[in-house]
């Protein structure tokens, strides 16, 4: 187990949805190879594009505060992080990130804003 202190379920759900390209509920060999390549090869921009796809749970091309807070919570779960008060509150962190990176002022992050940030 890579993260013995944490719970991987939520994070794995996001990752699975990202790499199950045909949405058939399974990851076939081609999808598996693409997942390996996307997460281990390529430049930083390529990997950030994959991260954006994972964070954009609705698939609408933008990450809203709820999606970002859910992903932050999933990462906390993965790492076994239980302190989520004050500055570590996922909703607060998501709001701060969006405020900082949202150039367009729509309170969402598009792919360009996400990668530039």
The pLDDT, as a whole number, for residue 33 is 85
Contacts for 11 with CB less than 8 Å, ≥ 6 apart:
74, 75, 77, 78
Strands 108-110 and 62-64: antiparallel
The one-digit pLDDT tens for each residue of the chain (117 residues) are: 565 666 778 778 888 888 888 989 998 888 888 888 877 887 889 889 989 998 999 999 999 999 999 999 998 998 888 889 998 999 999 999 999 999 999 999 999 999 999
In whole angstroms, give the CA distance from residue 67 to residue 30. Answer: 27
The pLDDT, as a whole number, for residue 3 is 58
Distances (CA, A) of 13 to 35, 42, 68, 95: 14, 23, 15, 23
Domain ranges of the chain: 9-116
The pLDDT, as a whole number, for residue 40 is 80
CATH fold of 9-116 reads Recoverin; domain 1 (1.10.238)
The pLDDT, as a whole number, for residue 67 is 97
């Amino acid at each position: 187990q890579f993260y013995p202190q944490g719970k991987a379920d939520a994070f794995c759900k996001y990752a699975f949805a990202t790499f199950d390209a045909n949405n058939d509920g399974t990851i076939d060999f081609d999808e598996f190879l693409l997942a390996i390549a996307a997460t281990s090869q390529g430049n930083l921009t390529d990997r950030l594009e994959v991260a954006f796809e994972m964070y954009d749970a609705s698939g609408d091309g933008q990450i809203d505060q709820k999606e970002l807070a859910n992903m932050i919570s999933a990462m906390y779960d993965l790492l076994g992080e239980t302190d989520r008060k004050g500055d570590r509150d996922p909703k607060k962190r998501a709001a701060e990130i969006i405020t900082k990176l949202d150039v367009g002022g729509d309170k969402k992050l598009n792919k360009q804003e996400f990668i530039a940030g």
